[in-house]
């Protein structure tokens, strides 16, 4: 075997913190060959990003490489001085960051930013930089590169910004590209376009790629080999086919189980002996609970009107779960804010439990009797909890405001709720920053169900969570629906997650519903082109040998 392009041995990274030294990465071995695509998969806190920072020597001041060696193309990165490193960075190894908008300088034209890196590394002169930059813009498939050269980051969409970041990263023809969650925060269709572009450019240039992601499906679609990390250690490393055919480590198995597949049910995401698994029993669907009739929300002046939600009508029955799927900017959040009565609609009617609530202004609805029957679980569990309030205080708040309970009753209710959502009682007095993402999500759910609502809007409730936590939270939501006989309106960009909980799905595009139908039918026979595009863009892990009755290894799915 040839000498690998990158050879990391026994890498250990430590961080000095207030509570002593924390080892973020423990004895990690990774090697990448020329032209190979390696995926590092792990959940938050697994040390996957820290590994890549160590590789580029861009760790925080508190972090240091405690042990091990990093050899890149014959250069010892661990011992190299700062000058050698700045030569290497950008020119030999470059990186694509998670948030493309934050990675670009907001007050400099994007073309200039591409020029900067080429001039910095002596690959272009002031005279020919412009031409080269435009060539790079062409290479990342940006239309009208001549015009886009002068664009500022705020004028471009998230996907376009990520293309610019890729152009900057590839401008010096590096040998290794590190992509740290390059598509988090992008829509699925954009994610597919960006990932296809990275893979294509890497193949064209014989470039090695290190893809860091939390999404096993994404890694499966685009990588040759996968390294699975947990708590700073590599637990498994194998070629994609082997890994999916026979995962060895229990953590890998758990991760694979938790990643939703095309055919999995919500209970399948957790091991068969896990008591948190939701039962498949369903309450019968009752009479209509929410009727939305030609709902419109328009922004801007009459002459220059933009309709965020355009003539939306649907019915949600008692005990039913309805999915609302669409990409960013399609109007799904505006819709949920109007139904939640946080935003006043321009026109249209909302009939909830028999009374028209659209006529009550958002301001008055805050203390309307129906307020308690209409609750919501927010997208970001961290943002939705007051950082100065303990978990208990957050859960209590709706009951204090809308229910007359004494101190004793409140405490009992909070304990019952905490138990219901699986939050250990001793965590109730902690502040949000002392809780993990999954625990914060539980606090948010406990608060939402505190008043026993009839309709719960779930606004991407698992988008900010790791897959294994997502599995638990989805099962919790499924169980609670049966216990409390609630209806769900599940809003998401991810059809794969929506189908786990919903009976019916609506697909929304540019403020309008383009397709609606029972979940299974919509997914198996999508009639609208947009639904098909959405479905095709979802990266799926290959079917697992152990979950279906076949022992033969399945070919990896390279593009779906």
Partner 1 sequence: MTTLTSASTTKEGALRRFVRHLLYVMTDNPVTAVAFALFVLIVIAALFGPWLVPYNPLATDSSSTLQAPSWQHWFGTDHLGRDVFSRVVVATRLDLMIAVTAVAIAFVVGSTLGAIAGFYGGWTDRITGRLMDTIMAFPLFVLAMGIVAAAGNTIENIIYATAIINLPFYARMARTEVAVRRQAGYVQAARLSGNRDWRILAFQIFPNSLPPMMVQISLNMGWAILNAAGLSFIGLGVSPPTPEWGIMVAEGANYIVSGQWWLAVFPGLALMLAVFTFNLLGDGLRDLVDPLRRT
Distance CA 135, CA 145 (A): 8
- Distance set, CA 172 to CA 38, 84, 85, 92, 199 (Å): 21, 16, 15, 8, 17
- Packed helices 110-120 and 158-170: angle between N→C axes, nearest 10 degrees: 20
**Identified binder of partner 1 from the candidate list 158, 231, 431, 554, rule CB under 8 A:** 431
**Identified binder of partner 1 from the candidate list 44, 347, 355, 386, rule CB under 8 A:** 386
User: Is the distance from CB of 357 to CB of 365 less than 8 angstroms?
Assistant: yes
The helix (run of H) or strand (run of E) holding residue 401 is: helix 391-402
By the rule CB under 8 A, 407 interacts with partner 1:
no
Distance CA 168, CA 363 (A): 48
Residue 6 or 448 having the CB closest to partner 1: 448
* Strands across the sheet containing 63-72: 20-32, 6-17, 63-72, 75-76
Neighbours of 167 (CB within 10 A): 25
Tell me the closest approach of the beta carbon of residue 305 to partner 1, in angstroms: 21
Chain mean position to CA 66: 32
Q: Looking only at residues 446 through 475 of this chain, which bind partner 1 when binding is defined by CB under 8 A?
A: 447-448
Q: Looking only at residues 15 through 44 of this chain, which bind partner 1 when binding is defined by CB under 8 A?
A: 18-19
Residue 175 or 394 having the CB closest to partner 1: 394
Distance CA 340, CA 362 (A): 9
**Identified binder of partner 1 from the candidate list 31, 184, 283, 372, rule CB under 8 A:** 372
Tell me the closest approach of the beta carbon of residue 240 to partner 1, in angstroms: 36
**Identified binder of partner 1 from the candidate list 126, 426, 552, 555, rule CB under 8 A:** 426
- Distance set, CA 522 to CA 266, 282, 295, 516, 542 (Å): 18, 20, 24, 7, 22
By the rule CB under 8 A, 384 interacts with partner 1:
yes
**Identified binder of partner 1 from the candidate list 430, 512, 528, 554, rule CB under 8 A:** 430
Chain mean position to CA 14: 27
Range in contact with partner 1 (rule: CB under 8 A) among 93-101, 178-186, 266-274, 367-375: 367-375
User: Is the distance from CB of 215 to CB of 192 less than 8 angstroms?
Assistant: no
Distance CA 183, CA 180 (A): 9
**Identified binder of partner 1 from the candidate list 61, 126, 363, 549, rule CB under 8 A:** 363
Collapsing DSSP to helix, strand or coil, 486 comes out as coil
Residue 384 or 509 having the CB closest to partner 1: 384
Token code pair at residue 43: 């959940």
Residue 442 or 447 having the CB closest to partner 1: 447
User: Is the distance from CB of 270 to CB of 471 less than 8 angstroms?
Assistant: yes
Tell me the closest approach of the beta carbon of residue 393 to partner 1, in angstroms: 10
Residue 392 or 504 having the CB closest to partner 1: 392
Distance CA 503, CA 511 (A): 22
Count, residues near partner 1 per rule CB under 8 A:
35
**Identified binder of partner 1 from the candidate list 385, 465, 472, 495, rule CB under 8 A:** 385
Distance CA 432, CA 383 (A): 9
In sequence order, what E strands does 342-462 have?
347-352, 355-356, 374-377, 455-459
User: How many residues does this entry show for the chain?
Assistant: 560
By the rule CB under 8 A, 61 interacts with partner 1:
no
**Identified binder of partner 1 from the candidate list 21, 279, 294, 434, rule CB under 8 A:** 434
By the rule CB under 8 A, 379 interacts with partner 1:
yes
Token code pair at residue 149: 């050269």
Token code pair at residue 387: 């950082």
By the rule CB under 8 A, 433 interacts with partner 1:
yes
User: Is the distance from CB of 182 to CB of 149 less than 8 angstroms?
Assistant: no
Tell me the closest approach of the beta carbon of residue 20 to partner 1, in angstroms: 9
Chain mean position to CA 460: 9
Tell me the closest approach of the beta carbon of residue 416 to partner 1, in angstroms: 18
Tell me the closest approach of the beta carbon of residue 264 to partner 1, in angstroms: 29
Query: Would you give the binding string for partner 1 spanning residues 311-350, x where CB under 8 A is met?
Result: -----------------------------x-x--------
Tell me the closest approach of the beta carbon of residue 386 to partner 1, in angstroms: 4
**Identified binder of partner 1 from the candidate list 175, 190, 259, 375, rule CB under 8 A:** 375
By the rule CB under 8 A, 282 interacts with partner 1:
no
Token code pair at residue 270: 């957790």
Residue 155 or 429 having the CB closest to partner 1: 429
Collapsing DSSP to helix, strand or coil, 242 comes out as helix
By the rule CB under 8 A, 376 interacts with partner 1:
yes
| 398 phi, psi to nearest 5 deg | -60, -35
Q: Looking only at residues 387 through 406 of this chain, which bind partner 1 when binding is defined by CB under 8 A?
A: 387-388, 394, 397-398, 401-402
Tell me the closest approach of the beta carbon of residue 328 to partner 1, in angstroms: 17
Range in contact with partner 1 (rule: CB under 8 A) among 231-239, 255-263, 321-329, 382-390: 382-390
**Identified binder of partner 1 from the candidate list 29, 356, 383, 409, rule CB under 8 A:** 383
Q: Point out which residues bind partner 1 (CB under 8 A).
A: 18-19, 340, 342, 363, 366-367, 371-372, 374-376, 378-380, 383-388, 394, 397-398, 401-402, 426, 429-431, 433-434, 444, 447-448
């Amino acid at each position: 075997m040839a000498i690998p392009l990158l050879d990391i041995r026994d890498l250990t990274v430590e961080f000095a913190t207030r509570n002593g030294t924390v080892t973020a990465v423990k004895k990690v071995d990774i090697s990448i060959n020329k032209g190979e695509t390696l995926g590092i998969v792990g959940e938050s806190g697994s040390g996957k990003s820290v590994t890549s920072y160590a590789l580029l020597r861009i760790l925080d001041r508190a972090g240091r490489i405690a042990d091990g060696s990093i050899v890149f193309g014959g250069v010892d990165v661990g011992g190299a001085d700062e000058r050698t490193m700045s030569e290497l960075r950008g020119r030999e190894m470059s990186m694509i960051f998670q948030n493309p908008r934050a990675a670009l300088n907001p007050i400099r034209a994007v073309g200039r930013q591409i020029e900067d890196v080429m001039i910095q590394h002596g690959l272009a002169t002031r005279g020919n930089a412009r031409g080269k930059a435009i060539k790079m813009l062409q290479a990342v498939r940006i239309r009208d590169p001549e015009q886009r050269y002068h664009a500022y980051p705020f004028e471009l969409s998230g996907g376009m910004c990520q293309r610019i970041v890729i152009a900057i990263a590839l401008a010096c023809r590096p040998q290794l590209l590190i992509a740290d969650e390059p598509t988090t925060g992008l829509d699925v269709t954009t994610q597919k376009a960006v990932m296809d572009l990275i893979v294509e450019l890497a193949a064209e240039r014989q470039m090695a790629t290190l893809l860091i992601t939390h999404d096993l499906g994404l890694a499966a679609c685009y990588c040759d080999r996968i390294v699975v990390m947990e708590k700073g250690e590599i637990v498994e490393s194998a070629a994609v086919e082997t890994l999916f055919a026979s995962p060895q480590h229990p953590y890998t198995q758990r991760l694979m189980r938790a990643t939703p597949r095309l055919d999995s049910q919500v209970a399948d995401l957790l091991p068969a002996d896990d008591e948190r698994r939701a039962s498949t029993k369903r309450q019968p669907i009752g009479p209509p609970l929410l009727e939305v009739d030609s709902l419109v929300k328009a922004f801007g002046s009459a002459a220059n009107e933009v309709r965020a939600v355009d003539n939306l009508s649907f019915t949600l029955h008692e005990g039913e779960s309805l999915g609302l799927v669409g990409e960013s900017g399609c109007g799904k959040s505006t819709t949920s804010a109007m139904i939640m009565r946080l935003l006043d609609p321009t026109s249209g009617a909302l009939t909830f439990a028999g009374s028209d609530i659209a006529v009550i202004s958002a301001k008055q609805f805050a203390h309307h009797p129906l307020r308690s029957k209409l609750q919501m679980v927010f997208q970001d569990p961290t943002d939705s909890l007051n950082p100065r309030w303990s978990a208990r205080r957050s859960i209590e708040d709706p009951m204090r405001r809308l229910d007359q309970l004494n101190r004793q009753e409140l405490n009992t209710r909070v304990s019952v709720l905490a138990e219901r959502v699986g939050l250990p009682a001793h965590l109730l007095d902690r502040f949000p920053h002392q809780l993990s993402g999954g625990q914060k999500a539980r606090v948010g759910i406990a608060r939402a169900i505190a008043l026993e609502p009839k309709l719960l809007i779930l606004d991407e409730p698992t988008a900010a969570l790791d897959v294994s936590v997502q599995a638990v939270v989805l099962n919790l939501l499924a169980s609670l629906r049966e216990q409390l006989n609630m209806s769900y309106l599940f809003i998401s960009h991810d059809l794969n997650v929506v189908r786990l909980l919903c009976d019916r799905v609506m697909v929304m595009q540019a403020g309008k519903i383009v397709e609606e139908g029972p979940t299974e039918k919509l997914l198996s026979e999508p009639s609208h082109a947009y639904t098909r595009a959405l479905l095709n863009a979802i990266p799926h892990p290959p079917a697992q040998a152990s979950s279906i009755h076949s022992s033969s290894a399945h070919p990896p799915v390279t593009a779906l």
